[in-house]
Amino acid sequence: MALWMVRAGKHGEYEKKFLDDNRIYATWDDLSSDVGKTKNREELLNMIRQVELYSGEKINTLKNWTNQLWPFVHEMKEGDWVVLLSKMKPAIHIAEIIGPYKFDADAEDPYYHFHDVKWFATDIPRVNFDQDVLYSFGAFMTICQIKRNDAEARIRRMAKNNWTVKDTYVPKQKDGPVEVEEGQLDLELLAKDQIAKLITRKFKGHEMTRLVEAILKAQGYTTYRSPEGPDKGIDILAAPGPLGFGKPRICVQVKSGNTPVDLPTMNQLIGSMQNVQADQGLFVSWSGFKTSIDKEIPTQFFRVRLWDQSTIIGELLNNYDRLDEDLKAELSLKRIWSIALQEEET
């Protein structure tokens, strides 16, 4: 058995289709020939070169694509596991491959090439995974096999332990230090993973509410934070102005657990908004939201905003200079510059 990683588009634009169709696709635009007929990588490379859309691509780019497509077509097997990194939320989806490579000439572009899969675990928070495993997931690759650091066995153990890490991985002596998968790394994403783990350690339970309140204060809101204990769905009240008498009046609920929250929890917030005459609600969940909530986003767009782990970190970084000094001391961060690499460059 093997462990693979796939991406559902540069911006996650194909993620919903992957999940809804119970398939993983090789989403190269205009590649409408049956690549399963190729007998070696050279034949596959030539087939890709014949696509008019790619006539201006560098040969190294085409070879890189060939080295990703070849295992998708010829090496992925039934029983292998596939990791899909969500671009829509800080979460990971995992499936088992249940069918061989298939080609559908009548499919809509770019869904010609696929494997049937069974998604048996979705919306697993990224923060649940060890950092070196996240390093392996951090390559700018659309398709690759994850082989190092005993990743497959460790993830299979996580599956038996409700997707939490039960043991500490120690590299075998002959393996040397913990390794990272080949390919350019998404350094920004990996940095955010490290920040997420720091926040998880330092802002457990009600402390997460304190962090969210600090961000709102940095944005110019006057706030009230409920004391620790039963809060009847109200963790923070916030409004603009020095006394907090401005609008919008916001009711905030914060969940710091390690599992995504569901629709009844959001409905509790909506009820609390009415009780305190809030104009809008902010629902904060460190581990993200279940699909039942995702489906309600259009309905509640003018009433409720959702912050998951990724949004919290984004707002933290955007407002870091305006946080109070004590909080900045707890979350000591430093800006760095890095070359902006794109997936096409790998």
For position 299, which CATH number holds? 3.40.1350.10
Task: Report the first-to-last Cα separation within the chain, whole angstroms.
Answer: 27
Percentage of residues in the chain with pLDDT exceeding 90? Answer: 73
Is residue 255's pLDDT more than 80?
A: yes
Q: Give residue for tokens 């050279």.
A: 42
Q: Is residue 341 part of a domain?
A: no
State whether 112 and 236 are in the same domain.
no
State whether 149 and 281 are in the same domain.
no
Q: List Cα–Cα distances, 303 to 114, 229, 291, in angstroms.
A: 39, 26, 19
State whether 179 and 61 are in the same domain.
yes
Query: What per-residue confidence (pLDDT) applies to 90?
Result: 87
State whether 222 and 287 are in the same domain.
yes
Q: Quick one: pLDDT band at residue 134, thresholds 50, 70, 90?
A: confident
Per DSSP, the three-state class of 191 is helix
> DSSP alpha helices (H): ranges in the chain?
15-21, 41-49, 59-74, 131-137, 151-160, 187-202, 207-218, 263-275, 291-294, 309-318, 325-330
Helix (H) or strand (E) holding 280: strand 280-285
State whether 215 and 174 are in the same domain.
no
Q: Give residue for tokens 């002959």.
A: 174
Pairwise CA distance, residues 278 & 236, whole Å: 11
State whether 178 and 258 are in the same domain.
no
Query: What per-residue confidence (pLDDT) applies to 2?
Result: 95
Roughly what angle, to the nearest 10 degrees, separates helices 41-49 and 59-74? 120
Q: Which has the higher per-residue pLDDT, 166 or 150?
A: 150
Q: How far out from the chain centre does Cα 120 lie?
A: 17
Q: Quick one: pLDDT band at residue 181, thresholds 50, 70, 90?
A: very low
Per DSSP, the three-state class of 251 is strand
Is residue 274's pLDDT more than 70?
A: yes
Which residues have C-beta within 8 Å of that of residue 263, sequence separation ≥ 6? Answer: 290, 292, 293, 296
Phi and psi of 268, rounded to 5°? -65, -40
State whether 179 and 222 are in the same domain.
no
Considering its fold, how many domains does the chain have in total? 2
Per DSSP, the three-state class of 130 is coil
Percentage of residues in the chain with pLDDT exceeding 70? Answer: 92
Q: List Cα–Cα distances, 30 to 2, 106, 228, 305, 314, in angstroms.
A: 29, 12, 56, 38, 35
- Ranking 180-184, 202-206, 217-221 by mean pLDDT, the lowest is 180-184
Closest by Cα among 128, 24, 120 to 76: 24
Query: What per-residue confidence (pLDDT) applies to 180?
Result: 44
Q: Give residue for tokens 């596991």.
A: 81
Provide the CB-side half-sphere exposure for 275 (13 A, CA): 13
CA angle, residues 308, 305, 254, in degrees to nearest 5: 55
* Residue range(s) defining the domain that contains residue 284: 201-330
